Amino acid sequence: MTTHETLAAATYDVPTLRKHWVQVADQDTEAMAKTREVTEVDFDTAGNRVWESDTFLYLPIVVNVRHGDTIRRERLVFALGKDVLVTLQPKTPFAPFAKALTRLRRLPHLAESAHGVMYALLYALNEAQERVIDHASDVLEDMSDEIALATDDYDERGTDIGVSDMQDTIKRMNAAEDGFVEQ
């Protein structure tokens, strides 16, 4: 087997990954109760703050996730223990974590510890945030020509721009801004 074939064949062991990473949808009270019983994770006590118990470090984060042309703000909580990472997330599966699974397939040793899994998840979330920033940048860049023309009082055809044209541009800018973060 060549080095390339060995790398392509490398993948994490699913039972090992599940031993170190438990995903819980924040609306699934039954799964939350079962996870609490098995792991002793206590998201209710942790609340929305960084908190440390005897067994877990709770890290709430807010991420922006792109869904088509809109950006939604999502809340996650990582409960990192010595041997297990429990994620309280908007739903399972959570799309940004798909990239983490790809990373875990390439670097299967990460799936062998809670800390390795958390590294892969944070890496994937960081990449997702970069895509949000790139999207916002593209939208604003598309509007920059319009803004420049509006401030010069002429459109791309050299026609005078009136107050209503400038107001339309401002309204579209505000709508674009609102579309970036949907809560």
- Give me the chain's average pLDDT, please: 82
Instruction: Give how far Cα 162 sits from Cα of 144, 151, 156, Å.
Output: 18, 11, 14
pLDDT digits (tens, 9 = 90+) for 12-35: 889 999 999 999 999 999 999 999
pLDDT at position 178: 61
Residue from 89, 85, 65, 92 nearest 76 by CA: 89
Proportion of the chain above pLDDT 70, given as a percent = 72
Parallel/antiparallel/unpaired status of strands 21-25 and 57-67: unpaired
**Contact 64/133 with Cβ under 8 angstroms?**
no
pLDDT at position 44: 92
pLDDT digits (tens, 9 = 90+) for 142-157: 776 666 666 655 555 6
The per-residue b/e assignment along 7-37, b for 16 or more CB within 10 angstroms, e otherwise, is: eeeeebeeeebeebbbbbbbeeeebbeebee
pLDDT at position 77: 97
Domain limits at 104? 1-183
**Contact 115/22 with Cβ under 8 angstroms?**
no
72 SS3 class: strand
Find the CATH number of the domain harbouring 135.
Answer: 3.30.460
User: Does the global pTM surpass 0.85?
Assistant: no
Reply yes or no on whether the pLDDT at 81 is more than 80.
yes
Alpha helices, H only, the chain: 3-9, 14-20, 29-39, 43-46, 97-106, 114-152, 163-180
pLDDT at position 157: 63
pLDDT digits (tens, 9 = 90+) for 35-70: 999 999 999 999 899 999 999 999 999 999 888 778
Parallel/antiparallel/unpaired status of strands 57-67 and 70-80: antiparallel
**Contact 107/120 with Cβ under 8 angstroms?**
yes
Reply yes or no on whether the pLDDT at 172 is more than 90.
no
Domain tally, the chain = 1
